Every structure is written in structure tokens, then in C-alpha cells.
């Protein structure tokens, strides 16, 4: 293969300059208009590559089908997926990417330190697009049916609302009555070179509402229940030893993500993450205990906890389909990539897609320091991820 980074880098540099920050407080999908701009650009680029079967859904999912090589139409259909949005933790507007050599002589792309870069997940998008361009330019590379899927609002934790399952099946069927489903999908949404991921957190979002008892402050003795202080007292009960900054590996955590309020009412949001579902549910139950403790401290005040599962650990369901991982590992060896299996201390759209019945491991993109102003990506590792995708479609086509 030629230097695939030539197919990836320029695309990536253009993608990161499109403001696609999502907003988890907005229920609509997509949650922000900027995601439409990138989606429309990608749709046009796919069509410019000569892919006739490409479309954009009403909820900003970009779909494209690479037809199978002659004689391989009946091989299992697989997909590659990446997300359009960037996280709202730091600004993703007016990104100024900088291409330079690091101290080891490796070419990297970083932000200018005022915004995130957007490698999460525009590196994944660029790598999939580069692989598609290479495959279309080299019809001698044999493969079965391949779907390309770009999704909105991954960073909000919504979990693929409006995922166009029926439309994908119709595209794969080619107009035949018998609908075809994806045998597997792979997200390109990971970190450093060689990291392959088949397990992730179980995720719970908890919203806690505080109702105070308000009276004139001059006559408040024994009467006032300050909702703002109730929220602060609740937050202080979250174990510091079970926070993101105090844990790694397989240890789960609580994370306070937002707090606001006044004397009369207050609200906070807590993310619960754990690889073990029972332990995650125990953490959610502990929030109810904290709530009752706060009510005891503030007579007349009330606390209500609402918990919602966002996504589940995908490991068990992927383990039911061993060929999905074994084919990925074979492709990594063919691509010359030394790989390691590690857990994702987070989640991907693959978590939800796996739950929906399509096993979806995660592949590295070469990015580092996601969701921060220090985000960067290594060009040689972007090349390797693109190369891995090209090898993987061939393995599935055997």
C-alpha cells in the first residue's frame, strides 16, 4: 500500500475545523447544527469517490455501502463506524490544528492549546474515509459488502437514538426481499497504536433534585432548608477515592458533572461508571442512601434521585461471536500492528450497537489526551489504523 497518511491527514485537518460540539442537555438528535455541516461534507466526499449508495438520514446519520467484489456478494457484511460530534468539556470552536514533529521526530497533529483538537473522533472518520478511497482505487483488493456509518451525538451518551437499522438492512439487501444485517461492526474511536477494545464501562446517569424550605433569612433559625447547601452536602458524600482522578484499570467511579441551585431548588448530575453491572447498580443505590442522609441533615428539605442506564459493557455479547475478535487480531498481524486488548474506561457507540445485536469492538485511532486542550494524534498511527481497516475487510472476505 502507498503511504495511507496522504489519504487521511488532509481530510482530518479539514474536518477538525468544523465546529461539531454536541450538547447533552438537548434532547433532539442531532443536538447541534454543526454536525449537519460535517455530515453533508462527508456525504459529498463519499459520492465524489464514486459511491452511489450513500445517503444522509433525517437524524444526521451518514450511510454508505461499498459493494462487494465480484463473487463475494454473499460474504458477511461488516461495518465501520465513527462519530461526528466532539465533547463539550472544552471548546471545539475555531480549532487551529498544528502539524509538527515531536521530540522523537514523529509527525503529530495537535491543537493550539485553546481548544480540543477533535481527534475524538474525526481521526476515526478520516481513517475510514482514507480506507474507502484506497479500496475504491484498488479493485484488486477483494472484500465482501462493507457499510460506512457516521453517527451524531456520541459524546452525549444518548446511545444511538434513531439508528437506521432498517435502512442499513435495505442497502445491504440491494432491493431483494431478504434483508441482510451486519455480521459485525468496528468503531474507530480509540487511543494509541495497537489498542483493541472489546469491553467498556456500564454507564448510569443520575440526576438528583433538591427542594428546599425557604423563609426570610432574618427568621430562618430552625426553619430554613437551603437547597443549594443540600446539593453541596450531597456532593461531598461522593467518595473521593472512587472518582475518575483516583481510579484506573478496572476500578469504577462516581463523577459529579454538573451542579446548580439556589435556596429554593438545586440540581446535580452524577455519572456512575463500572465494568461490573452489579457494582454499578450498587453505586446507584448508594445515591439513595446519600439522599436520605441529606434530608436528615436539612429538616423540611426533600431529595429525589433519578437514574438512567446509558450503555452496558459489551464484553459478554462480543464473546458470543469469537470470529469478530479473531478476525480483527488476524488483520492487525497482517497490518504489522502489535496489538493489546484493554478495557475502555468509557464507552463508544459500539456499546449500544452491541446491545442491539451487532458485536462492535473498538479500534485505535492514534489520538491522545481526548476531551482536553492538550489533545493530539500521531500521523503514523493514523496510517496504521487505516491500513488495519483495509486488511480487516479482506479477512472477512476470505
Could you list the active site residues? 85, 154
**Residue 64 φ/ψ, nearest 5 degrees:** -150, 145
Non-local CB neighbours of 216 within 8 Å, separated by 6+ positions: none
Non-local CB neighbours of 11 within 8 Å, separated by 6+ positions: 45, 125, 126, 129, 130
Closest CA to 37 of 89, 92, 113: 92
* Locus of grid cell 482536553: 372
Describe the crossing of helices 5-15 and 119-137 by its angle, rounded to 10 degrees: 140
* Locus of grid cell 474525526: 122
**Residue 244 φ/ψ, nearest 5 degrees:** -60, -40
**Rg of the chain on CA atoms, in Å:** 23
How distant is the alpha carbon of residue 264 from its chain centre? 36
CA distance 260 to 255: 15
- CA quadruple 110, 39, 343, 201: dihedral positive or negative? positive
At 222 the three-state DSSP class reads coil
* Locus of grid cell 491500513: 387
Amino acid at each position: 500500500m502507498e503511504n495511507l497518511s496522504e489519504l487521511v491527514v488532509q481530510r482530518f485537518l479539514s474536518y477538525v475545523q468544523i465546529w461539531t460540539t454536541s450538547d447533552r442537555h438537548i434532547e433532539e438528535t442531532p443536538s447541534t447544527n454543526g454536525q449537519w455541516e460535517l455530515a453533508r461534507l462527508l456525504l459529498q466526499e463519499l459520492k465524489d469517490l464514486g459511491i452511489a449508495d450513500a445517503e444522509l438520514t433525517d437524524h444526521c446519520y451518514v450511510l454508505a455501502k461499498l459493494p462487494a467484489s465480484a463473487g463475494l456478494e454473499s460474504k458477511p457484511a461488516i461495518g465501520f463506524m465513527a462519530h461526528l460530534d466532539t465533547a463539550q468539556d472544552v471548546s471545539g470552536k475555531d480549532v487551529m490544528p498544528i502539524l509538527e514533529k515531536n521530540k522523537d521526530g514523529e509527525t503529530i497533529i495537535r491543537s493550539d492549546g485553546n481548544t480540543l483538537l477533535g481527534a475524538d473522533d474525526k481521526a476515526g472518520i478520516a481513517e475510514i474515509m482514507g480506507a474507502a478511497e484506497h479500496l475504491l482505487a484498488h479493485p484488486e483488493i477483494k472484500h465482501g459488502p462493507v457499510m460506512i456509518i457516521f453517527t451524531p451525538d456520541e459524546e452525549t451518551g444518548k446511545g444511538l437514538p434513531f439508528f437506521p437499522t432498517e435502512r442499513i438492512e435495505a442497502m445491504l439487501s440491494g432491493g431483494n426481499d431478504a434483508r441482510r444485517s451486519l455480521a459485525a461492526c468496528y468503531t474507530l474511536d480509540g487511543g494509541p497504536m495497537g489498542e483493541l477494545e472489546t469491553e467498556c464501562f456500564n454507564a448510569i446517569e443520575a440526576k438528583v433534585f433538591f427542594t428546599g424550605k425557604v423563609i426570610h433569612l432574618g427568621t430562618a433559625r430552625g426553619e430554613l432548608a437551603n437547597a443549594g447547601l443540600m446539593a453541596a452536602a450531597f456532593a461531598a458524600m461522593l467518595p473521593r477515592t472512587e472518582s475518575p482522578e483516583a481510579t484506573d484499570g478496572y476500578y469504577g467511579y462516581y463523577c459529579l458533572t454538573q451542579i446548580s441551585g439556589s435556596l429554593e431548588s438545586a440540581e446535580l448530575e452524577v455519572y456512575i461508571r463500572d465494568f461490573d453491572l452489579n457494582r454499578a447498580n450498587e453505586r446507584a443505590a448508594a445515591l439513595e442512601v446519600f439522599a436520605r442522609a441529606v434530608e436528615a441533615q436539612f429538616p423540611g428539605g426533600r431529595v429525589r434521585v433519578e437514574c438512567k442506564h446509558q450503555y452496558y459493557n459489551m464484553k459478554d455479547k462480543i464473546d458470543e461471536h469469537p470470529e469478530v475478535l479473531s478476525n480483527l487480531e488476524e488483520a492487525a498481524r497482517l497490518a504489522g500492528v502489535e496489538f493489546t486488548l484493554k478495557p475502555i474506561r468509557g464507552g463508544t457507540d459500539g456499546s449500544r450497537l452491541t446491545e442491539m445485536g451487532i458485536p462492535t469492538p473498538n479500534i485505535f485511532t492514534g489520538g491522545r489526551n481526548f476531551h482536553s486542550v492538550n489533545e493530539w494524534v500521531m500521523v503514523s498511527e493514523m496510517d496504521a489504523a487505516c491500513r488495519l481497516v483495509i486488511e480487516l475487510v479482506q479477512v472477512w472476505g476470505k
